[in-house]
Amino acid sequence: MLVVFFDIDGTLLTTGGAGGTAMRRALTRQFGVEHPADVPFSGRTDRGIGAAFFAAHGIEDTDTHWQLFRRAYVEELKRQLPHHQGSVLPGIPALVSRLRRQSNVAIGLLTGNVRSGAELKLDYYGLGGHFAFGGFGDVHHHRDRVAHDALAEAKQRTNGSLTRAVVIGDTPLDVSCARAVGADVIAVATGIHSRDELAASQPDLLLDDLSDLSRVWEFLTRAAPARPEAGGRRL
């Protein structure tokens, strides 16, 4: 069985900055930080972003502090989504619909979002209910660990019948985490990274967006690319 993992922000949809605003307001609300530092968001897990904020402002990176931050962030995200101009990205409805009609394909998430934040975003933009499993950013600081979680759940959900996994994402970190678990990668330039930046990470297929359904489908249904996988093995 083919399993296709989607990233959320910059791949399935954009929230127009609602997520970043919610995180900064959560930091202010819970820890009194008036001017949150600029920390990297792209391709990072929410847990890793929280740790970066804590380090920048001298806040101890404990589970208690993380839980306070996470809860405040999700509450703020719910408030912020209606106040930002986001959208579902090109090609997504048609691609997700076609994938869901295939009996030999399962679709999941491989995202840095905490699970509750992911559900809020997907529900708000009409994509809720399409992704039954995945890896999320509640625990791990690094994306590769999330990829291992996602793959383990996919194997369980498919009763060991998984033969190929493909990650679709918009950052170099999506490419690297896919390689960490032996998955193939479609990179899309619908986020903040340019085609040149994405090309340097060497995805198997690089697209401006996912609107060319026939090209995406041809890649997903053909044999896996003939390339060595990091660590000397493939799925």
pLDDT 10s digits, 6-33: 999 999 999 999 999 999 999 999 999 9
231 within domain boundaries? no
Q: Are residues 22 and 10 in the same domain?
A: no
Residue-level pLDDT at 235: 62
Classify 216 as helix, strand or coil. helix
Q: Which two tokens stand for residue 44?
A: 């990072």
Residue-level pLDDT at 226: 59
Range of the domain at 159: 2-15+86-221
CATH number for 200: 3.40.50.1000
Q: Are residues 176 and 115 in the same domain?
A: yes
Q: Are residues 119 and 136 in the same domain?
A: yes
Taking the C-alpha atoms of residue 77 and residue 18, their distance in angstroms, rounded to an integer, is 6
Taking the C-alpha atoms of residue 170 and residue 149, their distance in angstroms, rounded to an integer, is 20
Task: Give pLDDT tens digits for 63-94.
Answer: 999 999 999 999 999 999 999 999 999 999 99
Residue-level pLDDT at 231: 45
202 within domain boundaries? yes
Classify residue 108 as left (phi > 0), alpha (psi -120 to 50) or beta. beta
Residue-level pLDDT at 230: 47
Task: Give pLDDT tens digits for 107-141.
Answer: 999 999 999 999 999 999 999 999 989 999 999 99
The length of the chain is 235
Classify residue 222 as left (phi > 0), alpha (psi -120 to 50) or beta. beta
